Amino acid sequence: MSRKKAREIALHLIFEMGFSNFEPEEKLADRLDESIMASISGDIALYAGKLTEGQTAYIMAVVKGVAACKDELDRTIEQYSRGWKLNRLSRITIAILRLALFEMRTMEDVPVGVAINEAVELAKEYDSEEAASFINGILGSVARAETGETVELKADESAE
């Protein structure tokens, strides 16, 4: 399983945060348990196979980090959404933006362009082309404002 798949599992957990009070330690221990993952794998192929230590560490860092920074991430989303309040965005769009913003700001081994590209790809898979464009615009604006750089994405650029 690649980083891409670990990112997708992290997205599922971040999405779940939007529905209930989320205690990261409890949920992560439960959701990443090998037997739980095996039981889910029959319905969702993404969960098939054992996670490596690196994948588990990545998922835990991202999910815990997003939970800890949720309010700050949400303020950034609203700031760059220009006229769109958080409650007007779909929960999956919010989850994707939270994940990508956290990666862009704190995950040193994930280049900003990769975080944006992966977020756009997740939006295409779980949301819509329109949501993917919206997410790309917000993340691109954040990247320009926070790094002063224009992020150029290539069609084949992704993190493994």
DSSP string, 2-55: -HHHHHHHHHHHHHHHTTS---HHHHHHHHT-HHHHHHHHTT-GGG-SPPPHHH
Q: What is the mean pLDDT of the chain?
A: 84
Q: Which CATH superfamily is domain 3-147 in?
A: NusB-like (1.10.940.10)
The model's pLDDT over 111-145, given as tens digits with 9 standing for 90+, comes to 999 999 999 999 999 999 999 999 999 999 999 99
**pTM, whole model, 2 decimals?**
0.85
